[in-house]
Amino acid sequence: MNILALETSCDETSTAVLKINNRQLNLLALNTSSQIKLHAPYGGVVPELAARRHVEIIIPLIEQTLSQAKIKPSKIDALAVTGGPGLITALQVGVETGKILAAIWHKPLIPVNHITGHLVSSFLSPRQWFVAQQKNTWPAVALVVSGGHTEIHLMKSINRWRLLGRTLDDAAGEAFDKVAKMLGLPYPGGPAVAKLAKSGNSQTFNLPRPMIKNQDYNFSFAGLKTAVLYSLKKYSPSTISHQLKANMCASFQQAAIDVLLYKIFKAAQEFKTKTIIVSGGVSANQELRRQLTLKVNTLHPTPYTLLPDLEFTGDNAAMIALAAYVISNNGKNLPKYKMTWKNLTADANWELWN
């Protein structure tokens, strides 16, 4: 089946056409327009500006994606849209656009939880889609680590999962962004911190590993961020050298990685999972990827590791299309979605409890 998906939950406008059945996955087109330049002067996403830019760009982007996919609207079997969580003004643009298209094209419209998108994003390459079909891939433990979310789920299969724990305050990506801001690094902070950390010494600052000793799977990153703030306060701004910043980036990054890896490996062992999945914007972090791979190889039996291709770590509509396929029971429930789209509203706080 062919799915046209829209994603506008934050600061990326993204549209994709995915051709998919149980055996084959073919991403016919994906276009993601980033708003980084628009928000950079403010050091963070400005919801009203984000929504306006989504409005300006979404229709041309849909046209471009259909044209690249060489597909006519009549050949689209279903529409999919991110319904939440996210910035409400931004989400509404995608949801209302989806509803208009569903009305004029007479198509089912599948609302997708943004986290579900990240959960399945590792399966977007054809080889990894094949892996999803294998019985011995499951159960899997999946860490979604992004700017808005840090959650661990136990996945029994690609469409059955259970929340094990999540951050009680800031998301890991949010902490990267805030630490970057404290150090005067550009927005978005994650890539900037990761880049500077390469020339830093991670042993320089003794930062906390919040909640690492707790028995549960929850996280807290606000305390780590505050510890960075207090460590920096010991210096007058003029004495904060490039090397000191690099050392702080490396120390902070290592503290965040230690907590993330500790919890995911604890879950992997407790639930005897055959696969470890890490996805979301922060999963683009090369040091996190390197240390994850190293640690996985020390376990017996070695779990299979799944990471999204870099183009699918951040927000994108391809993952929303794949999630729509999965939650619609491989398209079997499309008639239901043809009936229900009129009642669809964006939900900024949509919880993923399934």
Q: DSSP secondary structure string, 60-73?
A: HHHHHHHHHHT--G
Distance, in Å, from the CA atom of 136 to the CA atom of 301, rounded to the nearest integer, reads 13
Report in angstroms how near the CB of residue 148 gets to ligand KG4 at its nearest. Answer: 4
Report in angstroms how near the CB of residue 147 gets to ligand KG4 at its nearest. Answer: 3
Nearer to Zn ion, 303 or 314 (CB): 314
Nearer to ligand KG4, 77 or 311 (CB): 311
Peptide bond into 237 cis (omega under 30): no
Footprint (CB under 6 A) of ligand KG4, residues 113-142: none
- Partner in contact with 285, chosen from Zn ion, ligand KG4, none, beta carbon below 5 to 8 Å by kind: ligand KG4
84 near ligand KG4, judged by CB under 6 A: no
Sign (positive/negative) of CA torsion 214, 275, 166, 289?
A: positive
Nearer to ligand KG4, 110 or 175 (CB): 175
Task: Kindly indicate which of the ranges 45-53, 99-107, 280-288, 341-349 contains the residues binding ligand KG4, using the contact rule CB under 6 A.
Answer: 280-288
Footprint (CB under 6 A) of ligand KG4, residues 315-344: 315
The DSSP symbol for 20 reads E
Footprint (CB under 6 A) of ligand KG4, residues 170-229: 173-174, 176-177, 188-191, 194
Backbone angles phi, psi at 181, to 5 degrees: -60, -45
146 near ligand KG4, judged by CB under 6 A: yes
Backbone angles phi, psi at 32, to 5 degrees: -125, 120
Report in angstroms how near the CB of residue 4 gets to ligand KG4 at its nearest. Answer: 21
- Tokens 């934050």, located at residue: 10
260 near ligand KG4, judged by CB under 6 A: no
281 near ligand KG4, judged by CB under 6 A: yes
Contacts 24+ apart (CB under 8 A), 228-231: 228/179, 228/182, 228/252, 229/182, 231/205, 231/207
